[in-house]
Chains A and B, each alone.
Chain A
């Protein structure tokens, strides 16, 4: 299934309902938008992620949090890109909210108070990427042992581990 060429930029995508809704909520929070391979991605600022997700939930625009994950673009800065996959069961649509995080200070507000589903996903990211979530009720390692050193999914962590 060949896809149409990607569309990028907030201006080109401001007619899409999700982008329009977020722009209407807080235009300064939306940094960038992209529509690629039938998937809509919206970049928001680090400070506004919980607000944006709370807004989308309270307006009934999205009603399910599918996934929270992260990717490490080391050695580029800002190094981490958080990805929140939201789903609207009503409209049968998905949207991905992304936040860029710097390597020196990978701190972001937790969305667990809004979506309890994010609890385990955020703990996993804390464990494997070392991203810290403010306001998370129980931020502890989940996969690795408590006394483990380092964060295995970071790109500067060797695949074979430290011997």
Chain B
């Protein structure tokens, strides 16, 4: 965030180039990303991303909170898929505690994580297409996203900052009518994806803007830490859900879309395919939803049911203790990685044996993916920069934390 005291970090190296400032209030930077472009005519010679405008010190705040109080903070990191962040954090703490999660909670987590992937990709698709100039796709995408937000509101009472996954399970049993609403959505959604594809996949203008633009080879992608759909679009067949399964993903069958070209078009195709695959996973989770408890058997960690708390002394004591002094977590360190819609989301949690985490570090996929942007854009036109930013699907809340 070198914008306060020092002049732009780039100096024109040759007489014919100039510096162009893009952002942080540029509509196609998807937030408060500032890019310094050294341009020669309309070609980008060099690009330096400048970030930190949204830094709120979440990692520092975590160290002052009880373990269960960190969950709402994780919502704010990647606000397009809060439950995926919740999932990663609670799984890291559960790993530290050695907690066993009942199957119903796991399947609910998978179901909601996949719905979040869909709603996150819908925002990506809408804004990406709008950056390129296809305004109407945005409206179609947000129509479906609205239905998903209603589903999240049903289950957690919140549209965006859900905090629904808790350490040891879920916050509460899903309400009546929830599964019907999800079923209805999953039934219509494949047709809706066809609708988006009708608008974009065969659209000559869209293809021309995307094909062959911002190419990243597989070697470069790995070296630059690219992950998720952006890495798979470069031909690296790796998905944490399939290759290092967590949260019961080994019980689901799905395909991992991979493309070879490594350009913006390949990233578009991968993500659109993922929309369909996520729909299938969510359908499987819905069909096979086990019955049983949604909370682990761990009275010292998981808040008791309201009814029990009012009638049983023991439960009341545990409730009081968890709320007032938290619960201690055995000393140790874990790195839990999951596949977020943007790539490898990892939580590194260090415990020193007290009720507050000693260190919580988020390896956010957007942060690493952004590093590949200069590689993609250098030597190309300014208009391609807009397409490239959209294609790596960054969320600035997650980058700056």
Contact = CB atoms under 8 A, between A and B. Distances in A.
Contact of A119 (B1, B222, B344, B371): B371
A152 B52 CA distance: 14
Contacts of A146: 1-2, 4-6
Contact of B346 (A63, A85, A115): A85
Contact of A66 (B2, B6, B337): B337
B98 interface: yes
Interface string A42-75: 0000000000000000000001111101011100
A21 interface: no
Contacts of B332: 6, 36-37
A39 B336 CA distance: 10
Contact of B1 (A63, A67, A71, A145): A145
A83 B4 contact: no
B398 interface: no
A96 interface: yes
Nearest to A72: B359
Contacts of B9: 140
A85 B225 CA distance: 12
A142 B225 contact: no
A147 interface: yes
Given A83-B348, A85-B348, A143 B225 contact: no
A143 B4 contact: no
Nearest to A118: B225
Contacts of B394: none
A39 B334 CA distance: 7
Contact of B225 (A65, A140, A141): A65
Contacts of B225: 64-66, 115-118
Q: B9, B61, B223, B225 — which one has the most chain A CB atoms within 10 A of its CB?
A: B225
Contacts of A67: 335, 346, 348, 361, 363
Closest 8 CB pairs of A and B: A117-B225, A67-B363, A71-B359, A143-B55, A143-B52, A69-B361, A145-B4, A159-B64
